Structure 1
């Protein structure tokens, strides 16, 4: 059987798995670095870009003492971290607002080959240049200030003392002004981390016992501090197949199970019709989501089956959820939704003339599909090119066979896509359609969460 492994990190925070914990307890790894009130050593920073020294000349190195007299805010970030990238324009604005009183300095462990093209593309998209110095391949700064989540900010005052360790929410005009006036102590960011081996089952052999002979189990727990939120699906490896979802809201567990690991039951394809929707989905953002999960609304689920089992992973997960959360009824129904439909403009199927073996290529300005199904096109439009579009994107051509299609140009706008689709006799039209929808309702039977002996366990 072909091995399939999928890792998904949710966007509560961008995770950087480099720190270690001890005694299998969640620990704050920021405590291993320089602390608030301690002086930062006058190290030489290398790998600088877009930095001008005191003489106004471009320089690739600097000493921390070069920033003496300024509030230095070290910004630890990465190109794959969405909150980090979103902070670039804000930091640039703050830098201009406070002028010589402050200096933002962004540091990443990524190389200049990864970072500089990314920043150039980002600035082109934004139509603006950002005058923020960047340190690439940063090792010394990361060693001085260990952390596990991004973005991560270290505030160093004009004398070289650490004033604060924060997340991105504290970086604003009000707090910077208060720091200058010594009128505030900012909330210290804590990066909790725990020893976790993704190659062995949850709660076993370092995660809670010896799992060397584990063949089959199903576990549901409450929120596990220190692990962040993640998902893993392994259809076949060695002797077992696995579904693992850590620190998930109940709604996301339901969407995962009824998607069979493939179909994406996004918000626009899910109807929640329960009396207390806040128990299964938060609607919150940022740090508030993590607090909501910790307050009894986050779950960690793991199912392991032997490869030779005739049971289906997804059917077993559905069964577990139905048994453990039997106050809810979950079904897939056809319902009318406003959709963005792909329709034909001609009687001929101009898009089914594929000429090669399977081929797939997706870049910012090109989508090439050969000898694969129409659903690959709709998936890319909904999840890549029109990711922010609120309505489902549906194939309404009446054809769902294999296609050959090459879209080029502005693929992130409806107008640009219509131009590319036109040569294949296709266009995008907003219309009402009956589509499959995941529907979650109350059963009106208040039995709570079931506890069963043997394979199923519920713990808080």
Structure 2
């Protein structure tokens, strides 16, 4: 999608104040271009010494990767980081940083099969409370880039790759989206003292703004009703809105999306893990709307859908399409000897949702519409599942039928 999107509609006249966000203590936060303070040696594991001085590496690119052992994506990225460190050698120093204590990290590193298999031996600063003050964050991985004792970037982990590190070394700087988990106030849609009563704005990816899905709330300063989302994929924006209009009853799998567009990769990410944030920085969108009157949540979501359709020049809507599906049929009945152990299922709709989520079957349709609770024992394959469901008067039938689909259509 072209880098348009600064489109603002304003109407009526009235004085309003500037919406303010909840303040957090960011007094020590370092921005891009600011010098790193000279810090005391930090306690570290898996290093030639038990303490590390970051200032000793001013002639190298230093990557501070904030993580913890509960973060699946953090651990999954360790082999990539280790390979990068091995390949770049003296040009680079990757340092992992965690709030967790020494005992926790040592136990994890000595027992986790993934870490052992990939021979991860990157230095780990543990029990950290200082570095987090300079690079505050709510989500991990969170990465700070240092070079010549200066902050050069703060990013998602997806951006850590050799080509960008080479660029930093060669040019002394690198332009990357700033990861700021605490957000910022919109600069383009400033309702401070400009006498505007309401607004709608749609913009492309905003550097320094954390990803946030659909929100609808009354602003405590202006008294106006603000609808917003920030740095979202276009498809994700629509699905978030439609979920407010009607509670989802199925997984929106790829089979249920009909693309009538020239390039679907502009609307959603289809690449490999570890690059979604790079894609988002190129194709994400931000939306804000201020209204003087409130609406029911579902009605407001419909208003936003109309705004997006108009401003993006597309139509996104529900339809049906014939395709191969797995249909739950029959009439629910209580078995003579119901199973006592297994997963409690709240009706056939939840069963359909669960089977859909597994990804093992074609799209699943609930034709029974029973809300009766039942127990589903563990099963190994479709044959066992069919046998269990038959005791409840249910059966799974694979056939071609009409399936609800989401259509994304570009206007001519």
TM range (shorter): 0.5 to 0.7
CA apart distance, 1:439: 1.6
For 2:280 and 2:297, how far apart are their aligned partners in 1? 38
For 1:117 and 1:379, how far apart are their aligned partners in 2? 38
For 1:304 and 1:122, how far apart are their aligned partners in 2? 52
Q: Tell whether the 8 Å contact from 1:28 to 1:193 is kept in structure 2 after alignment.
A: no
Q: Tell whether the 8 Å contact from 1:245 to 1:302 is kept in structure 2 after alignment.
A: no
Q: Does 1:221 align with 2:207?
A: no
Q: Tell whether the 8 Å contact from 2:135 to 2:144 is kept in structure 1 after alignment.
A: no
Say how many residue pairs are matched. Answer: 371
For 1:243 and 1:128, how far apart are their aligned partners in 2? 45
For 2:236 and 2:226, how far apart are their aligned partners in 1? 17
Q: Tell whether the 8 Å contact from 2:314 to 2:409 is kept in structure 1 after alignment.
A: yes
Q: Does 1:375 align with 2:365?
A: no
Could you tell me which runs of 5 or more consecutive residues in structure 2 were left unpaired when the two chains were aligned.
1-22
CA apart distance, 1:88: 0.8
CA apart distance, 1:123: 4.0
Aligned to 2:31: 29
Aligned pairs for 1:77-226 within 5 A: 77=67, 84-95=74-85, 104-109=94-99, 123=113, 130-144=120-134, 150-154=141-145, 161=149, 165=153, 167=155, 168=157, 171-172=160-161, 185=172, 187=174, 189=176, 191=178, 193=180, 208-209=191-192, 219-223=200-204, 225=206, 226=208
For 2:404 and 2:267, how far apart are their aligned partners in 1? 21
Q: Does 1:63 align with 2:58?
A: no
Change (3 A) 1:250 1:102: closer
Change (3 A) 1:354 1:240: farther
1:109-134 deviations in whole A, cap 9, x for unaligned? 46779978987897459965633343
Aligned to 1:425: 389
Aligned to 1:313: 300
CA apart distance, 1:437: 0.4
Q: Tell whether the 8 Å contact from 1:369 to 1:406 is kept in structure 2 after alignment.
A: yes
SS of equivalent to 1:253: helix
1:94-118 deviations in whole A, cap 9, x for unaligned? 4556789975321134677997898
Aligned to 1:335: 321
For 1:310 and 1:228, how far apart are their aligned partners in 2? 23
Aligned to 1:11: none
Q: Does 1:255 align with 2:252?
A: no
Q: Tell whether the 8 Å contact from 2:183 to 2:210 is kept in structure 1 after alignment.
A: no
For 1:241 and 1:390, how far apart are their aligned partners in 2? 43
Q: Tell whether the 8 Å contact from 2:316 to 2:408 is kept in structure 1 after alignment.
A: yes
Q: Choose which of 370, 379, 401 in structure 1 pairs with 2:371.
A: 401
For 2:267 and 2:344, how far apart are their aligned partners in 1? 38
Q: Tell whether the 8 Å contact from 2:153 to 2:178 is kept in structure 1 after alignment.
A: no
Q: Tell whether the 8 Å contact from 1:351 to 1:405 is kept in structure 2 after alignment.
A: no
For 1:406 and 1:135, how far apart are their aligned partners in 2? 46
Q: Tell whether the 8 Å contact from 2:102 to 2:126 is kept in structure 1 after alignment.
A: yes
Q: Choose which of 46, 54, 57 in structure 2 pairs with 1:51.
A: 46
User: TM-score, normalising length from structure 1?
Assistant: 0.57
Could you tell me which runs of 5 or more consecutive residues in structure 1 were left unpaired when the two chains were aligned.
1-16, 22-26, 35-39, 55-60, 356-365, 409-414, 445-460
Q: Choose which of 244, 259, 275 in structure 2 pairs with 1:272.
A: 259
Change (3 A) 1:105 1:246: closer
CA apart distance, 1:269: 2.0
1:162-191 deviations in whole A, cap 9, x for unaligned? 696575456456777999xx7674625452
SS of equivalent to 2:407: strand
Aligned-residue RMSD, C-alpha: 5.7
Change (3 A) 1:275 1:164: closer
For 1:142 and 1:391, how far apart are their aligned partners in 2? 45
For 1:41 and 1:131, how far apart are their aligned partners in 2? 26
SS of equivalent to 1:316: helix
Aligned to 1:76: 66
CA apart distance, 1:231: 1.2
For 1:244 and 1:79, how far apart are their aligned partners in 2? 33
User: TM-score, normalising length from structure 2?
Assistant: 0.62
1:232-271 deviations in whole A, cap 9, x for unaligned? 4459999998753223344433333333263264543221
CA apart distance, 1:334: 1.8
CA apart distance, 1:337: 3.5
CA apart distance, 1:400: 3.7
CA apart distance, 1:210: 7.6
